[in-house]
Amino acid sequence: MRYGNKLPPGQRRVKGFPRFGTHLSRPAPAVPADPVIEVRGAVTEEFDLPLASLSSLPRKEITADFHCVAGWTATDLRWEGVSFETLYRALIEPALPPGTSITHIKCRGLDGWEAAVKIDDILADDVLIAQHLDGHPLDSDHGAPARLVSPSQYGYISVKHLSRVELLTTAPAITEGLLLRSHPRGRVWEEERHGLLPGRAVRPFYRALIRPIRFLSSRGARDRHTSGRPRFPN
Ligand SMILES: Nc1nc2c(c(=O)[nH]1)N[C@H]1C(S)=C(S)[C@@H](COP(=O)(O)O)O[C@H]1N2
Ligand SMILES: [Mo]
């Protein structure tokens, strides 16, 4: 969602779409030959969902901006894949014991990155398991073979290289320290940047992390020379 040309509070536009994350200078994790999403937690029986099974579900396309909690925004990204809600209703919900009430879904990437997402947030209209970006299969920089995309929440929710969803019936324990505690919802228009401090207050501190993290993240990128540059010459 965007209101006219306005960005959420405290965000600044970047050119292109940088690779960004704690993987820092490490290359992206290898994509398995037959990738699956492991379904774990409160299901009757845990199972592995082949990514190929997504092709039986209706496709969805969204165009949205992408907001990193550190303060950069990449604009007008066109994602294509399957709505998370569609996948959940068709293939996950039927595997829950009757009467189970899911409160959160913890998503995990092949590189170990995790985000626990409130059920209402992950079932929102604009949340996708994306397999294509701007008309091309997702590359390793941006989360191959499939990633979560939740444009109304800060980027840390949008888990790349999605390989596991864990169904939770209570809120997950907080594992991060005081200073770097991320907000459990991270909604961008509410500026839910931090778990304890007001979003506004942490802006300068987070902003200072952009350059070093971008630099390190680009070293492990698919093509070090173009990463971080605009995707289209203009
Ligand atoms: N698997 C995984 N997902 C991740 C991250 C990561 O390091 N690993 N970083 C998160 C953060 S902080 C951001 S801002 C976005 C960056 O996505 P991009 O690298 O496609 O720009 O991915 C998020 N998802
Ligand atoms: Mo981020």
Domain count along the chain: 1
Q: CA 230 → CA 64, 98, 225, 227, distances in Å? A: 17, 49, 11, 8
Q: Which domain holds residue 184?
A: 12-173+180-219
Residue 91: per-residue pLDDT: 97
Those residues whose C-beta lies under 8 Å from the C-beta of residue 94, and which sit 6 or more positions away, are none
Position 232 scores a pLDDT of 38
Task: Tell me whether residue 3 is in a domain.
Answer: no
Closest listed ligand to the CA of 70: 2
Residue 21 Cβ < 6 Å to ligand 1: yes
Residue 2 placed within a domain: no
Residue 229 confidence (pLDDT) = 42
Q: What is the pLDDT of residue 110?
A: 96
Per the structure block, which two tokens stand in for 80? 């294509």
Does 160 contact ligand 1 (Cβ within 6 A)? yes
Check whether the bond before 145 is cis (ω within 30° of 0). Answer: yes
pLDDT confidence of residue 225: 46
Q: Ligand 1: does its nearest atom lie under 6 Å from the Cβ of 159?
A: yes
Distance 213 CA to ligand 2 centre (A): 9
Residue 18 belongs to a domain: yes
- Say what the pLDDT of residue 139 is: 94
How far does the centroid of ligand 1 lie from the alpha carbon of residue 76, in Å? Answer: 17
CA of 155 to the centre of ligand 1 (A): 6
- Domain holding 123: CATH number? 3.90.420.10
Report yes or no on 234 lying in a domain: no
User: Residue 199 domain-assigned?
Assistant: yes
Say if CB 80 and CB 131 are below 8 A apart. yes
Is the overall model pTM greater than 0.75, yes or no? Answer: yes
Summarised one tens digit per residue, pLDDT across range 210-224 is 999 988 888 888 865
pLDDT tens by residue, 126-151:
999 999 999 999 999 999 999 999 99
| Mean pLDDT (10-residue bins), the chain, 234 residues | 80 94 79 97 98 97 97 97 98 97 98 96 98 97 97 98 98 86 96 96 95 88 55 35
Ligand 2 centroid–CA 20 distance in Å is 7
For residue 51, being part of any structural domain is answered with yes
Residue 118 domain flag: yes
Q: Return the pLDDT at 1.
A: 59
> How far is Cα of residue 61 from the mean position of the Cα atoms in its chain?
16
